Structure formats: C-alpha cells, structure tokens
C-alpha cells in the first residue's frame, strides 16, 4: 500500500513539474519576440542609472520626467543619423538605377593627378573607359551575380532597419525601467535569489562592467563616429552618412576609424587644394587617435575587460543579432567574462583558506 502511494506521489510530482515546465516554456515563447529588446533595454537602463539619479537629485526633478527626457534624447540620437543614412542610401539607389537603365555606369571623372601617374595612370584610365563603354554587355554577362548581390544588399538594409527599430524599442523599455522606483532593489533580490548571499556583489559587478564597457568602448566609438561624420560632411566627402556608419562599426570592433579617415584624406588631396586637404587631414588624424585620449578617462576602474573579449563579443553579437548585436554582444560577453572571473577568484580564495 505504501509502495502504491509513493508511486502515486511520484507520478503527481512528475505531472506538476511537467506542467510547470510547460507553462515556463509557453511564457518564454510569448516573451521571445521581446526578449532581445528587453535585455538591451535593461543594459541601457543600467548604464544610464547614475546619470538619471544625478539629474533627479541635483535638480530635484521627477524621476519619470528625467527618464522620459533621457529616452527622448537617445531616440533622437538614433533616429537622426539613421534618417541621414537611409536618405543617402535611397538617393544612391535612385541614381544607380537611373544609370543602369541608361546603360551607363556611374563612374566619376578620373582626376588628372591619377591619369598622369607614371606607369599605372594610363592603364587605369583605359580600364575605366572600357568599363564605361562595355557596361551594358557586363550587365548581360553577369546578370545573375548582380541580382544575387542586390538581393543580399536589400536583405542587409532590411535587417538594419529592423535592428534600428528594435533599438528604439529597447530605449523606450529603458525609460520605463528608469521610471520604476524599485528597479535597483528588485535587481539585487533577483541576484540574491539566483546566486545566494553573494548576489549583491555579482549584481554590482555586472552593473559596473556594463557602465565601463558602455562608456569606455561604445561611448568612445560613438563619439569618434560623430566627430568623423562631422568632418566628412563639412569637408564635402560624398555619401558621408554611409562612411560615418562604417567608421562607427570599425570603432566598435576596435579597428578605429583610421581607414575611413585615410580614404577621405586621399580623396581630398585628389580633388581639392593642398591647403584644404592638409587642414582636414590633420583633423582626421586627431579623430583617429582620439580614442587613446578618451579611453583612460571613460573606462571604469575595477571593471576592465580585455580587448579580445570585446572583439569576440562584437563579432559574435553581429553574426547572431545583426546591427544591434554590435552593441549588445560586447556587453553581454563582458558581463559573462567578469562573472566567471569573479567566481573563479572566489573558489581559489576559499581553497587557499581551507
């Protein structure tokens, strides 16, 4: 009788666990479309929390009003450059389409300085002339390859647009979290529940790591891209918003905007006066090395993360989640790295003391 009762209790327990797991899995499926924006929104909220608190205390403002203002500024900071980028892309597509229909490839006139280069100048000029005259035949010969490339480009643009929309959604979520008064206490309780009595330490470490990476890596990259974009626009570089986005990506993956800046300088030397090009080259050089000045001030002490970890996080995040992964990947992997490092240090200290 007891054995039958135990069997019945075991069956009841298995059924309850299965129902609970089923419910949790169902909740996960419901929340899955919002999971990535929520994670990124949480990261943004943690990064902005000190600024939010300072504004509330310093000026005596309502925390909800400050959260709304910060969210609005961030949304405008994303929307305005994105609008410039897509407007430039749209204009470029329209111009290219018109050239294709006319059977002319949109090749700019070759500067005389390049034509007069010894040995290679005449060869380059002949190649471009042949390309221009035989463009219609090239379209026919490589039609399938061109269509495949255009489809991939359209998919990339669509993914970029979706990711930018998700980023705006994440900023709105961050604003809601900042407006919620119990966010910090709730986070500490969650970490204590998951990890134990040391949960507060891990929560603090995670927050410090987020702020360090956001300021010292992403913040520096955004500032460099803004400075680069300002210079590219004022110097009259064609399609400056596109090159600004490329400079931002290079800065995030720790290559820096030097390649874009060097290309812009070369273009100016080929198309503008020596004085004009020289002055802008000095500016572009300062932008390229500005991260060496900003990082020591913006990277937080005690939360340094090796550059290989950040690089892997950026590349892996991009491959996993597209454009938004450039930002989230570095932060998430940095948090994981610091938490594992903390866990190993605690285990080592306990072993040494025992």
228 and 163, same domain (yes or no): no
Question: What is residue 302's predicted lDDT score, i.e. its pLDDT?
Answer: 44
What is the domain range of residue 165? 34-105+143-181
Cα–Cα dist 333/44, whole Å: 15
Model confidence pLDDT, tens digit, residues 87-104: 888 887 777 777 666 655
Question: What is residue 282's predicted lDDT score, i.e. its pLDDT?
Answer: 95
Question: What is residue 288's predicted lDDT score, i.e. its pLDDT?
Answer: 92
Question: What is residue 231's predicted lDDT score, i.e. its pLDDT?
Answer: 93
* In a domain? residue 195: no
101 and 151, same domain (yes or no): yes
* In a domain? residue 354: no
163 and 54, same domain (yes or no): yes
Question: What is residue 143's predicted lDDT score, i.e. its pLDDT?
Answer: 66
* In a domain? residue 191: no
Output the six-digit token pair for 25: 């899995």
* In a domain? residue 2: no
* In a domain? residue 110: no
* In a domain? residue 98: yes
| Count of C-beta atoms within a 10 Å radius of residue 321 | 19
**Whose structure tokens read 């072993």?**
351
Residues of the chain with pLDDT under 50: 301-302
* In a domain? residue 186: no
In total, how many domains does the chain have? 2
Question: What is residue 110's predicted lDDT score, i.e. its pLDDT?
Answer: 58
pTM score of the predicted model: 0.72
Calculate the alpha carbon distances from 317 to 36, 172, 187, 325, 326 in Å: 12, 21, 24, 4, 6
150 and 243, same domain (yes or no): no
329 and 230, same domain (yes or no): yes
38 and 160, same domain (yes or no): yes
147 and 231, same domain (yes or no): no
């Amino acid at each position: 009788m007891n054995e039958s009762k135990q069997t019945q209790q075991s069956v009841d327990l298995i059924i309850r666990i299965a129902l609970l797991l089923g419910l949790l899995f169902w909740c996960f499926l419901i929340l899955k479309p919002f999971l990535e924006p929520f994670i990124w929104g949480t990261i943004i909220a943690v990064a902005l929390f000190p600024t939010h608190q300072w504004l509330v205390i310093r000026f005596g403002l309502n925390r909800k009003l400050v959260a709304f203002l910060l969210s609005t500024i961030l949304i405008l900071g994303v929307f305005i450059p994105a609008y410039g980028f897509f407007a430039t892309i749209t204009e470029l597509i329209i111009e290219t389409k018109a050239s294709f229909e006319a059977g002319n490839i949109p090749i700019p006139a070759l500067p005389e300085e390049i034509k007069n280069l010894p040995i290679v100048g005449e060869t380059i000029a002949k190649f471009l002339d042949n390309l221009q005259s035989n463009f219609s035949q090239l379209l026919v010969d490589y039609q399938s390859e061109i269509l495949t490339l255009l489809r991939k480009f359209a998919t990339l643009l669509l993914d970029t647009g979706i990711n930018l929309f998700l980023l705006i959604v994440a900023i709105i979520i961050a604003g809601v979290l900042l407006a919620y008064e119990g966010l910090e206490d709730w986070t500490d309780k969650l970490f204590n529940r998951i990890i134990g009595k040391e949960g507060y330490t891990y929560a603090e470490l995670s927050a410090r790591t987020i702020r360090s990476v956001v300021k010292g890596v992403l913040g520096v990259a955004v500032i460099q891209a803004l400075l680069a974009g300002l210079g590219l626009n004022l110097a009259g570089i064609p399609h400056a918003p596109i090159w600004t986005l490329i400079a931002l990506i290079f800065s995030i993956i720790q290559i820096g905007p030097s390649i874009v800046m060097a290309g812009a300088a070369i273009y100016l030397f080929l198309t503008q006066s020596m004085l004009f090009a020289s002055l802008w080259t000095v500016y572009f050089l300062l932008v390229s090395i500005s991260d060496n000045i900003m990082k020591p001030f913006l990277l937080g002490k005690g939360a340094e993360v090796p550059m290989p970890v950040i690089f892997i996080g950026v590349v892996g995040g991009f491959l996993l989640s597209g454009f938004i992964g450039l930002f989230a990947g570095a932060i998430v992997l940095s948090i994981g790295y610091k938490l594992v490092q903390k866990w190993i240090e605690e285990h080592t200290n306990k072993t040494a003391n025992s």
